[in-house]
Structure 1
Amino acid sequence: MEIIQVVGLGLIATFLILVIKEQNPVFAFLLATFAGIVIFISLAGKLADVIRTLEQLAAQAGVKAAFLETVLKIIGIAYIAEFGAQVTRDAGQESIASKIEMAGKVLIMVMAIPIVTMIIETIVKILPS
């Protein structure tokens, strides 16, 4: 049912943007950004449920909390970078959007270093000397 609300909001915002864009493009851009933020916030509760479930599964599996926290941060960086790039593209700034995406990818690599290090150390321990 929530998808109907999200799509409805998106369609209403799109219609209003198309009507307003000719007379006031700045206001149309702000409306598009606001609609995106409202949709993102409306999903925050669902994201919190997913995070709680992942935390429970990690606890049951004996996964260190630091690793789960790192993975969740990586996912957050990906979503935020994508949202920022899309908003920037909506404003007609493709080059800046590309830089936002690149920054997100670099930050993800930096955050993943401890996990990659652990995986490599585990593989080295398993391999015969």
Structure 2
Amino acid sequence: MEIIQIVGVGLLATVLVLIIKEQKPMFAFLLATFTGIVIFLYLIGKISAVIQMLEDLALKSNINMIFLKTILKIIGIAYIAEFGAQVVRDAGQESIASKIELAGKILIIVMAIPIIKVIIETVVKLLPA
């Protein structure tokens, strides 16, 4: 099972970070960051399969691909912002992590505006005049 491998890598890295942290805190931080990146890269194939399945479903149901791509970008922004904020938190910089999260939220709102506009226009068309 893949989750056992991921948890194993995470636990091993955690033990190493705790051992190294006392002597070389910078190396401990780099190891923690590297571990996060390795886990993310391990999951890229799974993410790609999910995206492909969603694209196939969108084509079969005649959903405009622009909407799907926008939603996938929004999800990507959320995950990247969360990952970046957690890495910065691991370095002890809570205020910078908060700014990364804020930037992610603002970018999500900006990307969602076209979808929100279409939804509002559709609802207005459905209302009686």
Do these two structures clear the TM 0.5 threshold for a shared fold by scoring above it? Answer: yes
Q: CA deviation at 1:62?
A: 0.6
* Structure 2, unpaired ranges of 5+: none
- 2:21 maps to what in 1? 21
* Structure 1, unpaired ranges of 5+: none
Q: CA deviation at 1:88?
A: 0.2
What CA distance in whole angstroms lies between the structure 1 residues aligned with 2:113 and 2:86?
27
Q: CA deviation at 1:105?
A: 0.1
- 1:87 maps to what in 2? 87
Percent of aligned pairs with the same amino acid: 71
Query: Normalised by the size of structure 1, how large is the TM-score?
Result: 0.99
SS in 2 for 1:23: coil
- 2:34 maps to what in 1? 34
What CA distance in whole angstroms lies between the structure 1 residues aligned with 2:13 and 2:126?
55
Alignment of 1:1-129 (within 5 A): 1-129=1-129
AA in 2 matched with 1:70: T
Q: CA deviation at 1:57?
A: 0.6
Q: CA deviation at 1:99?
A: 0.2
What CA distance in whole angstroms lies between the structure 2 residues aligned with 1:83 and 1:21?
21
AA in 1 matched with 2:21: K
Query: Normalised by the size of structure 2, how large is the TM-score?
Result: 0.99
Q: What do residues 13-56 of structure 1 show as CA deviations (whole Å, max 9, x unaligned)? A: 00000000000000000000000000000000000000000001
Q: CA deviation at 1:125?
A: 0.3
Q: CA deviation at 1:2?
A: 0.7
What CA distance in whole angstroms lies between the structure 1 residues aligned with 2:91 and 2:41?
21
SS in 2 for 1:43: helix
Runs of 4+ in 1 over 6 A off after TM superposition: none
